[in-house]
């Protein structure tokens, strides 16, 4: 059965899963169609992009081989999406799958996350991005210095999650 992912992911109320679980089930039974789901990261509709990322995270947590087979795309290709929801999803995927990356990939992930944190006002990207960067900086003193500098700028942020993460980084140094 052919499924129009963009259409399915656009259904339902904005703050609901919509048909995300239907798409997840379809992909699990038709894994060769995963690329059609990945294309939704670049949809003009940010709701579709968000639900596509939600579906992707559900799928790769259930079958990490899909992540491994597409790891390079998660780093290089999907990071080009202009949607904050995709960037946030990538940050959490990078964090959850950190042990799958090599040193070269760490550098690209660090560069992506640093750019997103430096250029975002979104509190979730800031908080989760700092959390990822802190983890990545454990083995990179230059990155650690940059993360601490950003944390100092955000330590008094009005948003509790951002402020708390920034203060944690400063305290841990």
User: What is residue 139's predicted lDDT score, i.e. its pLDDT?
Assistant: 86
- Residue 172 burial (10 A CB sphere; 0-12, 13-18, 19+): exposed
* Phi, psi dihedral angles at 12 (to 5 degrees): 90, 175
In this prediction, residues 56-83 reach a mean pLDDT of 96
The rounded mean pLDDT for the chain is 95
| C-alpha Rg value of the chain to the nearest Å | 17
pLDDT class of 2 with cuts at 50, 70, 90? confident
Q: How far is CA 147 from the centre of its chain?
A: 18
pLDDT class of 16 with cuts at 50, 70, 90? confident
pLDDT class of 80 with cuts at 50, 70, 90? very high
C-alpha to C-alpha distance for 108 and 16, rounded to whole angstroms: 33
Q: Where are the domains of the chain?
A: 1-100, 122-173
Q: Element (H or E) spanning 128, and its range?
A: helix 123-136
Query: pLDDT tens for residues 106-147?
Result: 999 999 999 999 999 999 999 999 999 999 999 899 999 999
Q: Is the pLDDT of residue 1 over 70?
A: no
User: What is residue 152's predicted lDDT score, i.e. its pLDDT?
Assistant: 97
Residue 129 near residue 136, CB atoms below 8 Å: no
> Two tokens at 114?
């640093």
Cα→Cα distances 73→50, 79, 108, 154, 158, Å: 17, 8, 12, 31, 35
Q: Is 95 helix (H, G, I), strand (E, B) or coil?
A: helix
In this prediction, residues 6-30 reach a mean pLDDT of 93
């Amino acid at each position: 059965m052919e499924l129009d992912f963009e259409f399915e992911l656009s259904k339902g109320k904005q703050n609901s899963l919509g048909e995300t679980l239907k798409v997840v089930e379809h992909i699990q039974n038709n894994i060769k169609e995963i690329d059609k789901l990945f294309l939704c990261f670049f949809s003009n509709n940010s709701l579709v992009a968000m639900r596509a990322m939600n579906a992707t995270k559900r799928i790769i947590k259930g079958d990490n081989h899909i992540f491994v087979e597409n790891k390079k795309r998660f780093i290089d290709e999907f990071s080009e999406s202009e949607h904050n929801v995709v960037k946030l999803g990538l940050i959490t995927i990078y964090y959850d799958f950190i042990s799958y990356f090599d040193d070269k990939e760490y550098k690209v992930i660090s560069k992506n996350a640093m750019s997103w944190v430096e250029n975002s006002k979104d509190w979730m990207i800031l908080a989760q991005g700092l959390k990822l960067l802190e983890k990545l900086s454990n083995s990179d003193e230059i990155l650690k210095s940059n993360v601490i500098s950003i944390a100092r700028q955000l330590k008094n942020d009005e948003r509790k999650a951002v402020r708390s993460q920034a203060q944690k980084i400063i305290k841990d140094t």
